[in-house]
Amino acid sequence: MCLIAFALDAAPGVALRILANRDEDLHRPTAPLHRWTLDNGTPVIAGRDLRDGGTWLGITPAGRVALLTNVRQADRETAPRSRGELATRWLAGGHDVAGFADALSPADYGGFNLVIGDLAGGGWAWLSNRDPEAPHAPQRPLLHRRALGPGLYGLSNASLNTPWPKTQRLLAALDAAVRTPPRADHASAEPLLDTTPVPDEALPSTGVPLDWERALATPFVRAPDRAPHHAYGTRSSLSLTVSRGADGWAAHASEWTHVHDGQAPTLDPARHRSERVVLG
């Protein structure tokens, strides 16, 4: 997952609101949003990386939430463990935020941003093994941690709330969404399809070539011809809301998967999946 805007308790009756795009190699095997079970028997609602078994965003009926992005590096990183297991480890339970952080070995993973929350027990935090002041620089991995309170947050492939243009665009869209009456899922998710180019002078500098910075700078990423075996782009878009209804707190997630066929991106009803679960 490479772009997330999320709101914590930012509107009455709405505990969580997420808009997110997952960017990945187009040929990496992936299962879309669905219900599945972790190794310890915990049920989750999430997409799944079919190569390494983890996820990039998920929620459990007990109210645990995990959001994951990588930290962009000029060269591809190798690490002993897959970042996707960070999300599933939190979703599986067994620790509060402090205990989970204490049990992590930050050097075992490539650069990551991980947001974890517990809607039932309370407590949200951002964790990263890259220095928030210089996330793209070579460094010895150390765990950085910040507690999160009510408000709006943006996360891409730098650090929490790094003001990249794509992150600022999506945050503005989420801010407007939480200030207005609820709209249909497809309407609230439309900002995730934004491919408006970013001027070169506004691009971040992360150590990758300029043409790659340009391709990655928009909320919806299209780079199918980057390399013969490294076609890359936005694989899916997701809208998730946790709100109070007649039957208590419930999570509703909608996901659209994308085909990179040269056409403008759309929220194709034929590639739409939704899940709803009452929390508790």
Is the per-residue pLDDT at 241 higher than 80? yes
- Is residue 225 pLDDT above 80, yes or no? no
DSSP-derived secondary structure letter, 198: P
CA distance 253 to 52: 23
Structure pTM?
0.96
Report pLDDT digits (tens) over 111-160.
999 999 999 988 999 999 999 999 999 988 999 999 999 999 999 999 99
Q: What is residue 1's predicted lDDT score, i.e. its pLDDT?
A: 66
Tell me: pLDDT of 227 over 60. no
85 vs 225, which has greater pLDDT?
A: 85
Q: What percent of the chain has pLDDT over 90?
A: 86
Q: What domains are there in the chain, each with its CATH number?
A: 3-278 (3.60.60.10)
Widest CA span in the chain: 52
Report the pLDDT value the prediction gives residue 5, as an integer from 0 to 100.
98
Do 20 and 3 form a contact (C-beta atoms < 8 A)? yes
Q: Which two tokens stand for residue 37?
A: 């079970």
All residues at 6 or more sequence positions from 191 whose CB lies less than 8 Å from its CB, including other chains: 19, 169, 170, 173, 219
Q: Is residue 228 predicted with pLDDT exceeding 60?
A: no
CA angle, residues 128, 129, 132, in degrees to nearest 5:
65
* Three-state DSSP state, 100: helix
pLDDT (0 to 100) of residue 78: 86
Instruction: Give the pLDDT confidence score for residue 179 in this predicted structure.
Output: 85
Tell me phi and psi for residue 108, to 5 degrees. -80, -10
C-beta separation of 13 from 182 below 8 A? no
Tens-place pLDDT, residues 4-28? 999 999 999 999 999 999 999 999 9
C-alpha Rg value of the chain to the nearest Å: 18
Report the length, in residues, of the chain.
280
- How many Cα neighbours within 13 Å face the side chain of 188? 26
How far is CA 117 from its chain centroid? 13
pLDDT score of 184 more than 70: no
Token pair of 178, please? 């939480």
Characterize the bridge pairing of strands 232-245 and 14-25.
antiparallel
- Tell me: the pLDDT tens digits for 77-94? 789 999 999 999 999 999
Q: What percent of the chain has pLDDT over 70?
A: 97
Angle at 44 between CA 113 and CA 251, to 5 degrees: 85
**Mean pLDDT computed over every residue of the chain:** 94
pLDDT at 134: 95
pLDDT tops 90 at residue 252: yes
Comparing CA positions, the residue from 211, 221, 112, 207 lying closest to residue 166 is 221
Question: In angstroms, rounded to a whole number, what is the distance separating the alpha carbons of residues 35 and 7?
Answer: 24
85-120 pLDDT, tens per residue? 999 999 999 999 999 999 999 999 999 999 999 999
CA distance linking residue 45 with residue 48, whole number of Å: 9
Least confident of 146-150, 169-173, 243-247: 243-247
Highest mean pLDDT out of 37-51, 213-227, 236-250: 37-51
Residue 56 CA: distances (Å) to CA of 87, 128, 197, 212, 221: 7, 14, 26, 22, 17
- Using the CB atoms, write b or e for 47-59: b if 16+ within 10 Å: bbbeeeebbbbbb
Cβ burial, residue 168 (10 Å; 0-12/13-18/19+)? middle
